[in-house]
Amino acid sequence: MSILPIYKKVAIFSKNSKDAKEFSKDLNLWFKSKGLESEVIEDVKDLEKESIKNLDILFVVGGDGTLLIASRRVSKYGIPLVGINLGRLGFLTEVAKEDAFRQVEELLSKPLCVSKRMMLRATLKRDGKEILTADVLNDVIVNKAIIARIVDVAVYVGDRYITTYNGDGVIVSTPTGSTGYALSAGGPIVYPSLDVFVLVPICSHTLTARPMILPTYEPITIKMVSENKDAWLTLDGQEGTQLFYGDEIIVKQSPYYAYIVRTPNKSYFDILREKMNWR
């Protein structure tokens, strides 16, 4: 096999671990031996540099969490992401470390098989002012602080009130994120190429509260209605911001997509069987 000439410039974003750094160094040398322009990126801030948009492919060495970090920063450039799994589960990073060089060479010997994944845009408003806005691939989570017994969140679709969840919080997930925290909270598995919201209450004190699949043409608004109680907004399980009474979190479909490179000989259902131990 030979690497197609359409791929000229690649980069490797490495998890901050000794194993990942050593593997990334070897992969970088291998790319250069194949005639590709390649570099290893270890500082996440370097993913936000203007030069990143010129990449043909970004290889992510680590686990799904490392790929989520990369996707939030490079999705606006439409750069395909190849995940090489050094983590545990690896729904997104499906290339195994043990067979990575062979699989990567096979991937680059033909046009890429890319899965287009919707992302969320979350905006936090406090006293009418925007505190933050961020795009995420997996989920937007509102859950109670450690000292809070429960948290009350009122949820709206568009300007229509749905209900107030009393419990540990609520998750708004993408189909990609449906196999993450949302699944642990009782949510459904949603095929990842769909464009829908997955709304999942966390440990609701109302037994009739159930997950919902919602269209993306109207935003979901989560309002903090607990007096004297606080909670946290967590983005992709990695970036947290404390919430207070009266805060509003507006979740829309992001204008950006994540482009995840798939191994052509493995379907999404193959991955589910492997990761979920289905037979």
Q: How do beta strands 139-144 and 169-173 pair? A: antiparallel
Co-location of 44 and 150 in the same domain: no
120 backbone dihedrals φ, ψ, rounded to 5°: -105, 150
Q: Is 71 part of a structural domain of the chain? A: yes
Note whether 85 and 93 are within 8 A (CB). yes
Is the same domain home to 124 and 251?
yes
CA distance 74 to 155: 30
DSSP code of residue 209 = -
For residue 87, the model assigns a pLDDT of: 67
- Which residue in the list 64, 152, 236, 247 is annotated as catalytic? 64
Helix or strand run (H / E) with residue 11: strand 9-14
Please give the angle made by the CA atoms of 210, 268 and 68, to the nearest 5 degrees: 75
The verdict on pTM exceeding 0.75 is: yes
- Whether residues 135 and 234 share a domain: the answer is yes
Count of alpha carbons within 13 Å of 105, Cβ hemisphere only? Answer: 12
Together in a domain, 102 and 81:
yes
> In terms of Cα–Cα distance, which of 82, 54, 46 is closest to 67?
82
* Sole residue written with tokens 């043909």: 56
Within-domain flag for 1: no
pLDDT for residue 182: 96
| Interacting residues of 260 by C-beta distance below 8 A, sequence separation 6+ | 67, 80, 81, 83, 92, 114, 115, 117
Query: Is position 2 within any domain?
Result: no
Confidence band, pLDDT 50/70/90 cuts, at residue 1: low
Give the tens place of pLDDT for each residue, 122-165. 999 999 999 999 999 999 999 987 776 788 999 999 999 999 99
Does any domain span residue 4? no
Q: What is the pLDDT of residues 229-256, one digit of tens each?
A: 779 999 998 889 999 999 999 999 999 9
> Which domain CATH number covers 56?
3.40.50.10330
In this prediction, residue 6 has a pLDDT band, given cuts at 50, 70 and 90, of: confident
Q: Is residue 136 domain-shared with residue 224, that is, in the same domain? A: yes
Could you tell me the pLDDT band of residue 27, with boundaries at 50, 70 and 90?
A: very high
* 68 plus 43 within the same structural domain: yes
Task: Look at residue 3 and tell me if it is in a domain.
Answer: no
Q: Partners of 235 in the beta sheet? A: 140, 239
Residue 73 lies in a domain: yes
Distance, C-alpha 252 to centroid of its chain: 15
> How much is the pLDDT for 36?
93
Cα→Cα distances 156→161, 174, 199, 248, Å: 4, 17, 11, 11
In this structure, what CATH number is given to the domain that contains residue 166? 2.60.200.30
| 145 and 235 inside one domain | yes
Question: Residue 109 falls within a domain, yes or no?
Answer: yes
> Is 271 among the domain residues?
yes
63-84 pLDDT, tens digit per residue, is 889 999 999 999 999 999 999 9
Range of the domain at 198: 119-255
- 149 shares a domain with 85: no
Q: Judge if 123 and 173 occupy the same domain.
A: yes
Q: Give yes or no: 236 in active site.
A: no
Say how many domains are in the chain: 2
Q: pLDDT: is 4 or 17 the higher one?
A: 17
Half-sphere exposure of 173 (CA within 13 A, CB side): 30
Same domain for 212 and 226, yes or no, is yes
* Residues 158 and 203 occupy one common structural domain: yes
Q: What local confidence, expressed as pLDDT, does residue 39 receive?
A: 94
pLDDT at 228: 65
Q: How confident is the model at residue 89 (pLDDT cuts 50, 70, 90)?
A: low
Same domain assignment for residues 245 and 179:
yes
